[in-house]
Amino acid sequence: MSKPDFDPLLNDLLADSGYNRFRADLKQQALGAFRRARFWRRTCTAGAFAAVACLAVGTLLWQTQRAGSPTRTVHNVAPAESVPVPRGIAPVPPSNASIHIETISDEQLLAAFPPGSCFLAELNGQTILVFHDPALRAEVMR
């Protein structure tokens, strides 16, 4: 047999419709698998970026809220009502007469009240006197 006699047989073998359908199905399955892998890879990447962005925004909000909130130092922790110390005293015009105002220490202030009835706390850089008993607070503040 000569070579031209094999060509029709080869063409019939390669032109088998079942084989072509198999190749087309296999190609579609492979492309589907690649598309799904690409979809999940992009979804995970976008999710990671979204998580990092949310974390960054949350941290920024937490830091700004924390920076704006008062810093509190409590010397004696107990539930009570607080009495803020006045922020400032009205300026006194200068006069020739000298006025002597006695300053007392924190310990002397606390000693002026019954033991355990109040304590000093620091709020935003100011010291405040905090009373445990609302009745004592009302008596002192009238």
Whether residue 92 is contained in a domain is answered as: no
Q: In terms of pTM, does the model score above 0.75?
A: no
How many angstroms separate the CA atoms of 62 and 67, rounded?
8
- Could you give the number of structural domains in the chain? 2
User: What's the pLDDT score for residue 50?
Assistant: 95
The model's confidence at residue 30, banded by pLDDT at 50, 70 and 90, is very high
Q: Is residue 64 domain-shared with residue 76, that is, in the same domain?
A: no
Q: Is residue 80 domain-shared with residue 135, that is, in the same domain?
A: yes
Q: Is residue 60 domain-shared with residue 79, that is, in the same domain?
A: no
DSSP 8-state assignment for residue 75: S
Q: Which of 37-51, 61-75, 86-100, 116-130 has the least mean pLDDT? A: 86-100
Q: Is residue 77 domain-shared with residue 56, that is, in the same domain?
A: no
Query: Which residue range(s) make up the domain with 132?
Result: 72-87+103-141
Those residues whose C-beta lies under 8 Å from the C-beta of residue 133, and which sit 6 or more positions away, are 80, 117
In which element (H, E) is residue 121 found?
Answer: strand 118-123
Whether residue 23 is contained in a domain is answered as: yes
In which element (H, E) is residue 118 found?
Answer: strand 118-123
Q: What's the full length of the chain, in residues?
A: 142
Whether residue 93 is contained in a domain is answered as: no
Whether residue 113 is contained in a domain is answered as: yes
Whether residue 127 is contained in a domain is answered as: yes
132 within 8 A of 118, measured Cβ to Cβ: yes
Average pLDDT, the chain: 78
Q: Structure tokens of 75?
A: 């010397």
